[in-house]
Amino acid sequence: MSTYLLANIGTRDVQLDSYDDLPPELVNPKSGMLIPRRAGAYFRQPEQFSRWLPHLRLPMIEKALRLIAPKPDASLRIILFATDQPESVKEFYRDSDTIFFAELIRAVLIERYTQIGLPKKQIEIRLTDSNPGDYDQMHDFYKKSLPGVADRKPVPNPVYLLIAGGTPQMNTMLLLIGTEIFGPGAQPLYVSQELDRALNLDTTRLLYRQALQRNLDVILKAYAYSSALKLLD
């Protein structure tokens, strides 16, 4: 079996301690945070990547890694889910797309962890061009993306679901569909500003237990005892 980390990438997934030396167009004047599409493209330029690499912080991903794999190696697979909406979408919304943040995060992880055994090919990026603020579209995205992961060999288990980045719609659907697809092997993670590593939530076990109880109730009411035993197995 292989350990998987599935992470939604959001607008806060890449940070710096200070933005004073950055071009002002890379920072949102209202929030004080990086503008993902612009800043991600900027940091991916080779000369800027080398300059800023020591200062780039990945508060979501690296806190998750401190919990599940303090020394990431070949047994870990990472999948980053990011957005890349079409040019027909208003610039304000496209600027929040996280495609370049995902590429930047992969590059930073490669620099920081390949020397201790995390292969480059084991960090993937999955993109959606749908509206990340639409529940139905995000449902369809994860419904198509996750079954193929579950079918891989070696079997993905445990599968950590990092629901700290991304939109609420992305996080809700990653949690719900991830729980459905991976069952008790799914382990949701959340990040707190006060802690230096992610928190392991127990929501998946609760959802799985409730679903199991509902199925058992239906089967037992039909007196299908052999089916109930199979379900418990």
Using only the alpha carbons of the chain, give its radius of gyration: 19
- Across the chain, mean pLDDT equals 87
How many other C-beta atoms can be found within 10 angstroms of the C-beta atom of residue 220?
A: 12
> Is the pLDDT assigned to residue 119 strictly greater than 90?
no
The tokens 């197995």 sit on which residue? 233
Give every CB contact of residue 172 below 8 A, 6+ residues apart in sequence: 135, 138
Sorting pLDDT into bands at 50, 70 and 90, what band is 149? Answer: very high
CA distance 229 to 233: 6
Sorting pLDDT into bands at 50, 70 and 90, what band is 45? Answer: very high
Distance of CA 96 to the CA centre of its chain: 16
The tokens 């419904």 sit on which residue? 143
Mean pLDDT in residue range 94-117: 92
Sorting pLDDT into bands at 50, 70 and 90, what band is 209? Answer: low
pLDDT at residue 226, as a whole number:
55
pLDDT at residue 204, as a whole number:
52
Mean pLDDT in residue range 60-88: 89
**Is-contact 102 125, C-beta < 8 A?**
yes
Tokens of residue 6, six digits: 């599935």
